[in-house]
A = this chain, B = another copy of it.
């Protein structure tokens, strides 16, 4: 007990005892067993994070933000990827709850009923990250995918484009993509423009898909004057393909992207895009989670971290 105190609350132990303990710790290379500590105190310093994919650099920024904050506060981070499936997410959540994590951060905002029930029973705080969902489990830290897509579409409209193509990642089981799509439609509607299905495309992720989308839209009869690639690296693939073909952007077709990937600013021409607070989402998520864990806050919470349009020469 005295050792425990000397290590956790050194001020509550005599200097002499403290010194002896420190010496002994050094001598034997003692590393306290936090499993036992957690079991005894029913407090854990581990946070569980479930992202659709670790490999995706956008999520990676968020993870880095989370990791930085947790490290500073002496917490550990457990990660699992759900591969974009709610069942895998449920499995990950179950595993984390088995490890008695102190809190969860989930990127997806759609969960299996069982996953929700487990989290409720565990009674631990949760942050959702993917989009400013209307039905949060608990806390949300994100930006509005709907508003971001709408703002970019309006930006294009303001620039005079009238036949705006929209390329999205798969809409199924992903509230983020659906939000973006609805934002696009909302902007058109407010502008009194018709929705033309020949201008809308759903494609898998990846550079190659961006290239393919470019051709399909240009040759699909919709005659787009601009294309808004609402996902990942799609716009990069398309922009590079224009370079390859010697097509002038935005004269041939304007191109807009959805994320502040460094590279977009280095392309020729640099590509208009949205700045999304990826790292900030991670940092704030970790912070609000720790606030709750440490009893500094209670109750639901929704933090809108906003976005920003970066206007460049491609539009």
Contacts and interface: CB of A to CB of B under 8 A. Distances in A.
Interface of A: 29, 31-36, 38-39, 44, 46, 53-57, 60-61, 63-64, 67-68, 71, 74, 76-81, 91-92, 94-100, 117-118, 121-122, 206-207, 211, 233, 236-237, 240-241, 243-244, 262-263, 266-268
Given A34-B100, A35-B100, A54-B67, A78 B80 contact: no
A175 B213 CA distance: 42
A24 to B, nearest CB: 14
Given A34-B98, A67-B79, A266 B54 contact: no
B54 A63 contact: yes
Nearest to A98: B34
Contact of A54 (B29, B31, B60): B60
A193 B132 CA distance: 60
A268 to B, nearest CB: 5
Contact of A77 (B34, B79, B91, B233): B79
A32 B67 contact: no
Nearest to A38: B35
A118 B31 contact: yes
Nearest to A63: B54
Given A31-B97, A33-B100, A35-B99, A262 B207 contact: yes
Contacts of A61: 55
A237 B100 CA distance: 45
A32 B98 contact: yes
A78 B78 CA distance: 4
18 contacts: A29-B118, A31-B122, A33-B39, A33-B98, A34-B99, A35-B35, A35-B38, A54-B60, A54-B64, A64-B81, A67-B81, A71-B91, A76-B99, A77-B79, A77-B80, A211-B266, A236-B263, A243-B268
Contacts of A236: 263, 266
A233 B67 CA distance: 23
Given A32-B98, A71-B91, A244-B268, 9 more contacts: A33-B98, A35-B100, A55-B57, A57-B57, A67-B79, A67-B81, A71-B92, A236-B263, A237-B266
Contacts of A240: 263, 266-268
Contacts of A34: 98-100
